C-alpha cells in the first residue's frame, strides 16, 4: 500500500526542520564555545531522532550530549556537565529542570523547544561504556550510517503506528519500543508494512542479529532479542515488556487484515488505515459512565490513594508495579479473590492502586492445616499451640479458626502499617508514604469527589482498565 496520504502529516515541514536544525546548531556552537573559553575538555554532540531525521512532526525534542574523555572522573563529568547545561540555558534565556536518573541531566525549555543536555563519556565501541547513556552516540552514528533516505518515512510510519496502539516508548511506564529499536526494525525489515508482516509471525524469544555477531543465543528469556549492532553483548529489546510485544503482534495482524481485505474499496481501506494512525477516540470517557461500568461488573473496586516521594518516573513505576502485584497476591492468599488490579500515578505527588475484587467478604472461619496425624509429637505441639479444638481432616490435624480478616478492607488496613507492611514486597521509596498517607475508598465514592492533578489521565486509566486491548484495533 502507498502510505503517502499518512506520511504527509507525519513528516516535519521544511519550516519545522529548518527551525530545529538552526536552534540545534546554535546550541552546539554555544556549548563548544563555552568549553573552549573555559578550558573544559568536552564536546557537544547532537543525538536522538532529530540527529537521525526520524522525528515525528511536532515532536522535535532536541537531545544534546556533552561528551567528556574517558579519563574524566565521574564527579567532574556530573559537575561540569550540569554547569555547561545551565550556562547555555541561561545564555539562551531558557528554563531548566535538573533530573537524576542513573545519571544527572538537564531538561530545558529554550525558545519553545524541549532540549535535554546530557553529560556522557566519549566511547568508540560499546564495550568501553562507563555510563548508561554513553552508547547513545554510537546508536545515533549507526543509524546515520545505515538508514537509507527512503527508509526514514517507514520509520515515521512505524513510530506513529506504535504510538497509536500504545506500544511506543521504552520508559518503564510503557515498557514498549524505543525509537532506536523502531529504526533497527526498519533496517531489518526495510518497510513499515513488511515489518508488520514479519512481526505478525514473531514467536516468543524471536532473535534478530543484524551484524551476525552470533551472540543472540545468550538471551534465552527475553521475549524479543535484537542484538545491538554497536554492542554484541546487549539486547536492545531487553526493556520491552512481553505485554507490549504481544500488543504489537496482535495490532499488526489486525492492521494487515484490513490491507488484505479484498472486499474493501480503496477509499474504505484508506479510511480504516488512517484510523490506525490516529489516537483512539474515547467518546464515553466521563465519571458517570465509568462508575456505571464498574457497577455493572458486580465486583467491589477499592481505590487506594497515597502520596509518593520525589523520585524519577522510571524509578517510581516499577516500585508501584511490584507493590500492587504483591498486594494482590497476598489478598488471594487470604482466600479473597482479585478480579483485576493495576496502579496509576500522576508522577508528581500521588499514586493510586485500583483493586477490583470478585470475593470481597468471607465467612467467619477458615480451616487451619496442621501436621500429618501420624507423628504424635507433632500433633502434641500443634495442640499445645492451638488448644484442644483440633480435629482430623483426611490424615491432617486441622483447626477451624476464626479469620482475622473478613473483608479485604480490614486486611489492607492491617497490612498498611509500619508493623506489617513487610508482609508484602513494597517499593522502598513508597514504603513509608503508603502507610502514612493512604486513603481507602470505593470507586463510586472516590470518583465523585476525586481531587488529583491530571485527573483526566486517571479516568483514562480506568477506561483502559475496563476495556483491555482497546488500542489494538480500530
Site of interaction with a copy of itself (CB under 8 A): 200-204, 242-243, 246-247, 249-250, 253, 296-299, 335, 337, 339, 358-359, 362-365, 373-374, 376, 379, 388, 390-395, 400, 406, 468-470, 472-473
Measured from the CB atom, the residue of 390 and 416 that comes closer to a copy of itself is: 390
Q: Which three cell numbers stand for residue 428?
A: 522502598
- Please, what is the minimum distance in Å from the beta carbon of residue 299 to a copy of itself? 4
CA angle 447, 346, 340 (to 5 degrees): 60
Q: 10 Å Cβ neighbour count for 279?
A: 12
- Please, what is the minimum distance in Å from the beta carbon of residue 382 to a copy of itself? 12
- Please, what is the minimum distance in Å from the beta carbon of residue 218 to a copy of itself? 22
Residue 177 near residue 169 (C-beta atoms within 8 A): yes
- Please, what is the minimum distance in Å from the beta carbon of residue 365 to a copy of itself? 6
Measured from the CB atom, the residue of 24 and 299 that comes closer to a copy of itself is: 299
Measured from the CB atom, the residue of 95 and 395 that comes closer to a copy of itself is: 395
- Please, what is the minimum distance in Å from the beta carbon of residue 189 to a copy of itself? 17
Distance in angstroms (rounded) separating the CA atoms of residues 90 and 82: 12
Measured from the CB atom, the residue of 312 and 470 that comes closer to a copy of itself is: 470
- Please, what is the minimum distance in Å from the beta carbon of residue 359 to a copy of itself? 5
Measured from the CB atom, the residue of 383 and 431 that comes closer to a copy of itself is: 383
Classify burial at 413, counting beta carbons within 10 Å of its beta carbon; exposed 0-12, middle 13-18, buried 19 or more. Answer: middle
Distance in angstroms (rounded) separating the CA atoms of residues 59 and 325: 34
Measured from the CB atom, the residue of 83 and 202 that comes closer to a copy of itself is: 202
Measured from the CB atom, the residue of 5 and 391 that comes closer to a copy of itself is: 391
CA torsion, points 231, 232, 233, 234, in degrees to nearest 10?
60
Measured from the CB atom, the residue of 149 and 388 that comes closer to a copy of itself is: 388
Q: Which of 239, 107, 120, 113 is nearest to 180 (CA)?
A: 239
- Please, what is the minimum distance in Å from the beta carbon of residue 396 to a copy of itself? 9
- Please, what is the minimum distance in Å from the beta carbon of residue 187 to a copy of itself? 24
Measured from the CB atom, the residue of 96 and 359 that comes closer to a copy of itself is: 359
CA torsion, points 149, 151, 155, 157, in degrees to nearest 10?
110
- Please, what is the minimum distance in Å from the beta carbon of residue 474 to a copy of itself? 12
Distance in angstroms (rounded) separating the CA atoms of residues 116 and 126: 22
Measured from the CB atom, the residue of 203 and 217 that comes closer to a copy of itself is: 203
Measured from the CB atom, the residue of 68 and 219 that comes closer to a copy of itself is: 219
Measured from the CB atom, the residue of 92 and 373 that comes closer to a copy of itself is: 373
Amino acid at each position: 500500500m502507498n502510505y503517502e496520504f499518512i506520511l504527509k502529516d507525519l513528516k516535519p515541514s521544511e519550516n519545522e526542520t529548518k527551525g530545529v536544525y538552526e536552534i540545534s546548531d546554535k546550541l552546539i556552537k554555544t556549548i563548544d564555545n563555552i568549553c573552549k573559553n573555559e578550558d573544559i575538555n568536552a564536546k557537544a554532540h547532537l543525538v536522538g531522532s532529530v540527529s537521525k531525521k526520524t522525528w515525528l512532526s511536532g515532536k522535535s525534542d532536541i537531545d544534546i550530549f556533552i561528551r567528556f574523555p574517558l579519563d574524566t572522573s565521574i564527579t567532574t563529568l556530573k559537575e561540569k556537565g550540569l554547569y555547561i547545561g545551565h550556562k547555555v540555558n541561561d545564555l539562551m534565556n531558557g528554563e531548566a529542570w535538573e533530573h537524576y536518573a542513573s545519571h544527572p541531566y538537564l531538561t530545558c525549555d529554550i525558545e519553545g523547544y524541549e532540549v535535554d543536555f546530557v553529560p556522557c563519556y566519549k566511547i568508540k565501541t560499546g564495550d568501553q561504556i562507563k555510563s548508561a547513556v554513553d552508547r547513545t552516540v554510537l546508536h545515533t552514528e549507526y543509524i546515520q550510517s545505515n538508514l537509507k533516505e527512503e527508509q526514514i518515512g517507514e520509520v515515521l510510519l512505524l513510530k506513529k503506528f506504535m504510538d497509536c496502539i500504545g506500544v511506543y516508548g521504552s520508559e518503564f511506564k510503557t515498557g514498549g519500543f524505543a525509537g532506536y529499536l523502531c529504526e533497527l526494525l526498519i533496517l531489518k525489515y526495510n518497510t513499515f508494512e513488511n515489518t508488520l508482516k514479519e512481526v505478525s509471525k514473531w514467536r516468543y524469544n524471536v532473535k534478530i542479529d543484524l551484524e551476525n555477531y552470533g551472540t543472540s543465543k545468550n538471551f534465552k528469556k527475553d521475549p524479543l532479542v535484537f542484538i545491538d549492532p554497536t554492542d554484541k553483548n546487549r539486547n536492545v529489546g531487553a526493556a520491552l515488556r512481553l505485554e507490549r510485544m504481544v500488543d504489537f503482534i496482535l495490532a499488526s495482524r489486525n492492521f494487515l487484515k484490513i490491507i488484505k481485505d479484498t472486499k474493501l474499496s480503496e477509499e474504505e481501506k484508506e479510511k480504516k488505515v488512517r484510523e490506525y494512525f490516529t489516537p483512539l477516540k474515547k467518546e464515553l470517557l466521563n465519571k458517570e459512565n465509568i462508575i456505571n461500568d464498574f457497577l455493572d461488573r458486580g465486583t467491589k473496586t477499592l481505590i487506594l490513594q497515597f502520596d509518593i516521594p520525589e523520585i524519577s518516573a522510571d524509578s517510581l513505576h516499577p516500585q508501584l508495579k511490584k507493590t500492587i502485584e504483591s498486594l494482590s497476591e497476598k489478598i488471594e492468599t487470604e482466600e479473597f479473590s482479585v478480579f483485576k488490579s493495576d496502579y496509576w500515578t500522576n508522577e508528581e505527588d500521588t499514586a493510586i492502586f485500583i483493586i477490583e475484587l470478585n470475593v470481597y467478604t468471607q465467612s467467619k472461619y477458615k480451616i487451619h492445616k496442621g501436621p500429618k496425624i501420624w507423628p504424635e509429637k507433632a500433633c502434641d505441639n500443634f495442640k499445645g499451640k492451638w488448644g484442644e479444638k483440633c480435629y482430623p481432616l483426611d490424615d491432617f490435624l486441622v483447626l477451624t479458626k476464626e479469620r482475622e480478616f473478613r473483608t479485604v478492607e480490614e486486611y489492607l488496613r492491617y497490612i498498611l502499617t509500619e508493623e506489617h507492611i513487610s508482609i508484602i514486597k513494597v517499593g522502598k521509596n513508597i514504603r513509608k508514604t503508603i502507610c502514612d498517607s493512604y486513603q481507602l475508598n470505593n470507586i463510586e465514592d472516590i470518583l465523585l469527589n476525586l481531587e488529583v492533578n491530571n485527573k483526566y489521565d486517571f479516568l483514562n486509566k480506568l477506561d483502559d482498565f475496563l476495556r483491555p486491548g482497546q488500542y489494538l484495533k480500530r
